[in-house]
Structures are given as structure tokens and as C-alpha cells.
Amino acid sequence: MLQRPRRNRKSSSIRKMVRENRVTAHDLIMPLFIVDGTGIEEQIPSLPMAYRRSLDMLLKEIEACIKLGLHSFILFPKIAKEHKNKSGSYSYDPNNFYLKAASTIKEKFPELTLISDVALDPYNVDGHDGLVMNGEILNDESVGILARMAVAQAEAGFDVIGPSDMMDGRIQAIREALDKAEYQDISMMSYTAKYASGFYGPFRDALDSAPVLDSSIPKDKKTYQMDPANSREALIEAELDAMEGADFLMVKPAVHYLDIIQQLKVNQLLPIAAYHVSGECAMLAAACEKGWLDYETVMPETLLSIKRAGADLILTYYAKEFLLLQK
């Protein structure tokens, strides 16, 4: 045989020489959950590698992650019920602890990249990413609030705004609002192809942000998040977001939508982010806890598969643990 592919696999050194894809700290974004208060560090039962933390504890966690080489974080707030209303107005309130926390984090760690979450579900009483009226999710009325929220987040010090709501036209509206407020340099990481997936459960547990069970309120998010059966539709969303001013395009979930990551990578020039979501992480953790899978093998392999599919950036609750394994 003239060709023996095994020659390029015969040693660890050679395998590293010809390796096509690598996951590094620069590829990873660490999701963090924040709650109001002090001294709080609560493990999330359905997502055991993640915690809800108050700002004082979160600063310690960020410092530990930075020492491992992580420099990008996305921040999600758990909002107390007394701050929730129909319009989600606490989202842009100057006294919002989430906004104050962002300012403190950037003051202490100015070198890191801090990404926000723009959606109404943590803030409104209905648990939806937009305004609910007469059993419908209102699009254009929601977009105005989202734009106001984004400007407040820019003022607080976020480097990248993360619209996760899937309302039509919100990227352009937010871009115009940011530019008008003279935040032209603030980036946007759009949740471009966010599917109406069943893999978000632990995340909603962490933030208490699931849709409220009420006959007058839609029981799911299928009228605005994408149908899991569709792939070409993701190309439409990506083209619109790119034209409207997005700087990054995201696919969510990641592992079960590797084909979508690949399609966006081939058809778009913007960087592609992929969210390794809570249910995907929890499923892996449970299988490893049962001894059905080897954690030190399959967790890095999972992240590598996302990278190989075309993701430039990976949002994963395993970011810190992945880097600890590399030490």
C-alpha cells in the first residue's frame, strides 16, 4: 500500500502535528448566574457544574477562571419576584442589581469580555421573552423595550450585547439605539438560530424563567423560537441579523444542531458562536455520574465536535472544567 493513513496516527506527537481542530481558552465563553445578595453560592441541582452566586462570590469565581486563561463571560440574572411585572421594566432600571454588578465586574477586571443577556423572560411575570397580551407575544412592542434594555446594559459596562429573545427586527432596533446613545463600539452577539428546544430545562430552573402555567398565556415559546425541524430557515435569520448589524451569530443548542453550525459557517462571514446548553451539559453529567460514559474523554470530545462543526466560539458550562482537565 502506498497510502497508509495510520502513519499519521502512530504517536501522540504526530497526532498533535496533524490535528485539524483544537479547543483553547480563547474559544470558550463561560455562562455565569448571578443573584442579588451576599455570600450566596447555590449549586443548581439539574445543572450540577453551575452555581447561582451573589456578586462577592462571583468575583472570586471570575478571578479563578481568568487564572486558567478564560477571558469571556456571559452573565444571566435571577430576578426576585417583587421586581417582575408585565412590561419587564426592571430590566433597564438603574437600580437593577444585574447592571450594577456588570459595572463592578468591569471595574475589577477591565481586561475581560463581558456579554449580556437581552430578553424579557427573567423580568416579566409571564416568563416569556416578549410582552404578552391577549394570549399573544407582541413583537414590535417588545423590541422597543429590548432596545432600551440594551442601552442600559451598554451604560453599565457590558462589552457585548446578547439579544436572546428572537423577536423580528430587534437587531436593527438595538443597533440604532446603541448608536444613537453613542455606543457605536458596543458589539452584538445575536442569538440567530435559537430553536424551541427541550434542552433548556436546567437553565430555566436556574433563573426561574419558564413560561407561567396559565391558560391565558402561551405555554411554550414556539411562536418566536425556531422549529427544530427546520434548517434553511436558519439561513434567513442569519442573513437578516448580519444585515441588521450583528457582530456574531449564535446557534442554540449546539450539540443537537451541529448541522446548523456548519451551514452558518459556510454561508456567513461573521464569527459563529454555539451555545452548549444546560440540558446538553446536564445529560452528559448524568451519564458520567452513572458510569456509563468516561467524563474526561467525552466532555472534551463534545466541545471538540462543536468546534469541528464550525463554531468559532463555544458557550459552555464546562468551560472552567475543560481547562482544568488540560492542566
CB 70 within 8 A of CB 323: yes
Q: Please identify which residue in the block is written with the cell numbers 436593527.
A: 172
Determine how β-strand 131-133 pairs with β-strand 136-138. Answer: antiparallel
CB 120 within 8 A of CB 142: yes
Cell numbers at 293, concatenated: 460514559
CB 135 within 8 A of CB 88: no
Determine how β-strand 41-44 pairs with β-strand 47-53. Answer: antiparallel
Cell numbers at 224, concatenated: 418566536
SS3 (DSSP) at 108: helix
- 94-123 burial code (b ≥16 CB/10 A, e <16): eebbbbebbeebbeebeebbbbbbbbbbbb
Distance CA 327, CA 325 (A): 6
- Tell me which residues are annotated as active site: 194, 252
Contact partners, residue 224, CB within 8 Å, separation at least 6: 129, 130, 137, 139, 165, 166, 167
> What CA–CA distances, in Å, run from 74 to 10, 13, 28?
40, 35, 11
Nearest to 58 by CA among 44, 79, 37: 37
Contact partners, residue 126, CB within 8 Å, separation at least 6: 86, 132, 211, 212, 214, 217
